[in-house]
């Protein structure tokens, strides 16, 4: 596969990163992403529909996520739903962003753990 350089997409906004993380857990539809993120963050992160559907559109255009044809058991399905999953590029970006955040945190901890200046 052609090498993918994630850096032009970084840093991701908190909303974008949450969308990728949520889809890393398994494919989901839009409203399902909103619910999963809210549940996972104890209601602290509430994606708005304006934000979510804007992000979804951009991510699909950038081939970071893709809509799937697979439908769950018709008994559990809702025809309105549109399901999305991460592409290889999306996975690579999510992992690159996690690595970036870890480096930021490492440096922050190095500065913050020092005793307060005199």
Partner DNA sequence: AGGCAATCTATCCATTGTCAATATAGTCTA
Partner DNA sequence: TAGACTATATTGACAATGGATAGATTGCCT
Alpha carbons 3 and 44: distance in angstroms, whole number: 36
In the block, residue with structure tokens 């994606």: 47
Q: Which two tokens stand for residue 70?
A: 């697979």
Alpha carbons 9 and 13: distance in angstroms, whole number: 10
| Residue 52 Cα to chain centre, angstroms | 10
Is 108 among the residues that bind DNA (CB under 7 A)?
no
Select from 40, 51, 62, 66 the one that contacts its own copies (CB under 8 A): 40
Alpha-carbon distances of 46 from 33, 38, 78, 82, rounded to whole Å: 10, 5, 22, 20
**Minimum CB separation from DNA for residue 103, in Å?**
17
Select from 16, 19, 21, 33 the one that contacts its own copies (CB under 8 A): 21
Question: Given the rule CB under 7 A, which residues bind DNA?
Answer: 13-16, 29-32, 35, 46-51, 53-58, 78, 80-82
Site for its own copies, rule CB under 8 A: 11, 14, 17, 21-22, 24-27, 40-41, 85, 91, 94-95, 98, 101-102, 104-105, 107-109, 111-112, 114, 116-117
């Amino acid at each position: 596969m052609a090498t993918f350089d994630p850096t032009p997409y970084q840093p991701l906004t908190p909303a974008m990163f949450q969308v990728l993380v949520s889809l890393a857990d398994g494919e989901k539809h839009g409203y399902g992403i909103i619910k999963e993120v809210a549940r996972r963050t104890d209601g602290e992160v509430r994606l708005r529909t304006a934000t979510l559907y804007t992000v979804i559109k951009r991510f699909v255009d950038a081939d970071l996520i893709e809509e799937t044809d697979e439908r769950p058991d018709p008994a559990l399905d809702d025809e309105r739903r549109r399901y999305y999953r991460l592409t290889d590029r999306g996975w690579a970006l999510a992992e690159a962003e996690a690595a970036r955040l870890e480096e930021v945190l490492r440096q922050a901890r190095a500065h913050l753990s020092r005793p307060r200046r005199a």
